Amino acid sequence: MATTVSTHQTKWWSGGKSPFNVEYGKVMMWYFLMSDAFTFGAFLISYGTIRFSQNFWPDPNVVFNAFPGAGHANLPLAFVSVMTFILIISSVTMVLAVHAGHKGDKASVAKWLAWTIVGGIAFLGCQAWEWHHLITGEHATLIDGQIQMVGQTTTINPWGQLVAAGPELTAALNNSDQHVLASLVHEHHASQLGHAELMKLPKQDLVNMLSNAELHIREKGPVAFGGYFYGITGFHGFHVFSGVIINIVMLIMTQKNVFERRGHYLMIEKAGLYWHFVDLVWVFVFLCFYLI
Amino acid sequence: MEHTSSEITFHHHTDDETFKKKVKKTTILLSIITIIELLIGLVIYNIHKGENPSAYLVLAFKGMVCILTIAKAYYIVAVFMHLGDEIRNFIMTIVVPLMLFIWFIAAFLIDGNSYKNLRNDYDKHFKETTSPRPHHGHEAPAKPEAPKPEPGKQ
């Protein structure tokens, strides 16, 4: 780097200069991001504390195995890797926007900012789909001696331990609603009949059909799982959302020649720092919730 | 590009070619690390599915993912956020406070772990209802009973 030599010779603290050689707003953006890192860190660490205080914790590969349009196919990690790559690519387009700003190239700034916005919106769309899928999902769960179909919310977690076949499970099947049994038969392909026809059969027939199928019925899991998942990914999603808004504002300002008149595109750099931070946080959210 | 303040003399003197190369290299690096992480995730998934999941093997793979994630974070901050191009003193004002995380993570994970151990010792219901059961219906070998807490000793 050409400036390294002069850096050593300059007396940064003798006055008359900016000792960090960084513009004020950029310094403050860095310090804000540092404090935000502690906020996210505290959330993730408290998740870790609760997780370490439990004997059993759901396996992320069991929880996050769905893909839009793939039905019941078991595809662990597939969708979240799409989300991760969207965010990495949008980070790259932001780097290119900042670089175009260095050169004062207005058209390129606008182009790369627009792509970054598209990436951000795509990520938010993925997250909306994932949340919707988890909340409205129907997972056979053993609750109070009967099988219920529940989704993952902040008050219930259907990802507990697998219930082994045995008298307890048979009793629970006998206790369950007709509707639940019909759904289970349908899901496990234990019969050719449709849901409506299954609803008309006697309950005992449905239980008998199920006794041959390998059921993956789970107990309730640790309830903190949902709260932490929605809390932390929601907080991150909120950061992505505000990042998209900031980038849209930057795009409008670029198009209105605000930076052209100012003579520099420093604002784009600051928005860029924020956007990269959002990507950075996702790297850790991805690690804590999906990988380990 | 001219800054408004004459006090700031620092510029990122990178020409177009080297910059594009650097960004391309970093993008490829981040993608490769992510793919390796996903592969390790699938390895962990298959270990869990197997007959006798080895807790130490899973832990080793999880440790590897953590190290890869820190490498990824380093590249995002140093290259994409250009922190590596700033003056050393400024880098230190950001990095040194973040050292607090070393204590933060260690202390709180150990705390959670200790709480679990205490509950397992003193709350038998918690231990029996939440301990992971082996797959395939095998009964866990009977564990020797934990020593009873002496009354009055806390």
Same domain, yes or no: A106 and A243: yes
Same domain as A71, residue A185: no
Q: What is the mean pLDDT of residues B53-59?
A: 87
pLDDT for B148 equals 46
pLDDT of residue B135: 59
Q: Is residue A4 part of a domain?
A: no
Picking from A157, A189, A219, the residue at the C-terminal end of a domain is: A219
Q: Which two tokens stand for residue B23?
A: 């960004």
Q: For the beta carbon of residue B48, count every other beta carbon within 10 angstroms.
A: 13
State the pLDDT at residue A212.
Answer: 65
pLDDT tier at B11, thresholds 50, 70, 90: low
* A286 secondary structure, DSSP code: I
Among A8, A74, A80, A286, most B C-beta atoms within 10 A, so best to mutate, is A286
B45, B80, B101 member nearest A61 (Cβ): B45
Q: In sequence order, which residues have a C-beta less than 8 Å from that of residue A286 and are 6 or more positions away?
A: A80, A84, B69
Residue B121, pLDDT > 60, answer: yes
Categorize the per-residue pLDDT at B147 as very low, low, confident or very high, splitting at 50, 70 and 90.
very low
In a domain, A186, yes or no: yes
Is residue A5 a part of any domain in this protein? Answer: no
Q: What are phi and psi of A278, to 5 degrees?
A: -60, -40
Do A67 and A147 belong to one domain?
no
User: Is residue A78 located within the same domain as residue A212?
Assistant: no
| Cα-Cα-Cα-Cα dihedral sign, residues B110, B115, B119, B122 | positive
* Cα(A80)–Cα(B33) distance, integer angstroms: 15
Instruction: DSSP letter for B101, please.
Output: H
Same domain, yes or no: A214 and A100: no
Q: Listing from the earlier edge strand, what are the strands of the sheet with A139-143?
A: A146-150, A139-143, A218-219
Residues 36-95 of B with CB under 8 A from A: 37-38, 40-42, 44-45, 48, 62, 65-66, 69, 72-73, 76-77, 80-81, 83, 85-87, 89-90, 93-94
Of the pLDDT bands very low, low, confident and very high (cuts 50, 70, 90), residue B77 is very high
Do B48 and A61 count as a contact with CB atoms less than 8 A apart? yes
**Are A283 and B90 inside 8 Å of each other by CB?**
no
Provide the pLDDT for residue B154. Answer: 37
> Rounded CA gap, A88 and B73, in Å?
12
What amino acid is encoded at B6 in this protein? S
3-state helix, strand, coil in chain A (%, to 5): 65, 5, 30
Domain co-membership, A116 together with A236: yes
Q: What percent of chain A has pLDDT over 70?
A: 96
Residue A150 has φ and ψ, to the nearest 5°, of -130, 155
Domain co-membership, A37 together with A178:
no
* Two structure tokens written together for A64: 């996050």
CB of A213 closer than 8 Å to CB of A188: yes
- B19 CB neighbours in chain A (<8 A) are 99
- How many cross-chain Cβ pairs, A to B, lie less than 8 Å apart? 180
- pLDDT, residue A73, reads 81
For residues B120-127, give the mean pLDDT.
92
Q: What count of other Cβ atoms lies within 10 Å of the Cβ of residue B47?
A: 15
Structural element, H or E, at residue A95? helix A78-102
* Domain extent at residue A211: 139-219
Sign of the four-CA dihedral A239, A241, A244, A245? negative
Residues A182 and A264 in one domain: no
Q: Is residue A122 part of a domain?
A: yes
- Say what the pLDDT of residue A41 is: 96
Residue of B nearest to A44 (CA): B105
Are residues A49 and B27, on separate chains, in Cβ contact within 8 Å?
no
Among A198, A219, A240, identify where a domain stops.
A219
Which of B62, B94, B112 shows the shortest C-beta gap to A50? B112
For residues A130 and A143, membership in a common domain is answered with no
pLDDT at A74: 84
Burial A144-168 (b: 16+ CB within 10 A, else e): eeebbbbbbeeebbbbbbebeeeee
Mean pLDDT of the B10-21 span: 74
The reply to whether A2 falls in a domain is no
Residue A255 lies in a domain: yes
Same domain membership, residue A211 and residue A83: no
A292 touches chain B (CB under 8 A): yes
What is the Cα–Cα distance from A264 to A118, expressed in whole angstroms? 24
Query: Nearest-CA neighbor of A279 among A7, A28, A23, A89?
Result: A89
CA distance A290 to A80: 8
Q: What CATH number does the domain containing A93 carry?
A: 1.20.120.80
Q: Which helix (H) or strand (E) holds A141?
A: strand A139-143
Residue A18 lies in a domain: no
Residue in chain A nearest B19 by alpha carbon: A99
CA distance B8 to A21: 5
- B95 vs chain A: nearest CA distance in angstroms? 9
The pLDDT value recorded for residue B8 is: 56
What Rg value do the Cα atoms of chain B yield, rounded?
25
Q: Which candidate in B38, B64, B93, B135 is best for mutational testing of the A interface (most A CBs within 10 A)?
A: B38
Give chain A's residues under pLDDT 50. 1-3, 7
- Nearest-Cα distance to chain A for B66, in Å, is 7
Q: Which two tokens stand for residue B148?
A: 């009873």
Q: Do B4 and A291 touch (CB under 8 A)?
A: no
Query: Which pLDDT does position B146 carry in this prediction?
Result: 47
My answer on whether A211 and A238 are in the same domain is no
On whether residue A127 sits in a domain, the answer given is yes
More confident residue, B73 or B143: B73
**Number of structural domains in chain A:** 2
Residue of A82, A76, A101, A40 lying closest to A228 (CA atoms): A40
> How far is the alpha carbon of B153 from chain A, nearest alpha carbon, in Å?
23
pLDDT 10s digits, A120-142? 999 999 999 999 999 998 888 98
Same domain, residue pair A213 and A112? no
Report the predicted TM-score, pTM, of the whole model to 2 decimal places. Answer: 0.87
Best A17, A21, A258 member to test B by mutation, with max B CBs in 10 Å, is: A21
Task: Give the tens place of pLDDT for each residue, A38-93.
Answer: 999 999 999 999 999 999 999 888 889 889 888 778 888 899 999 999 999 999 99
Of A219, A236, A255, the last residue of a domain is A219
Residue owning tokens 């919310």: A153
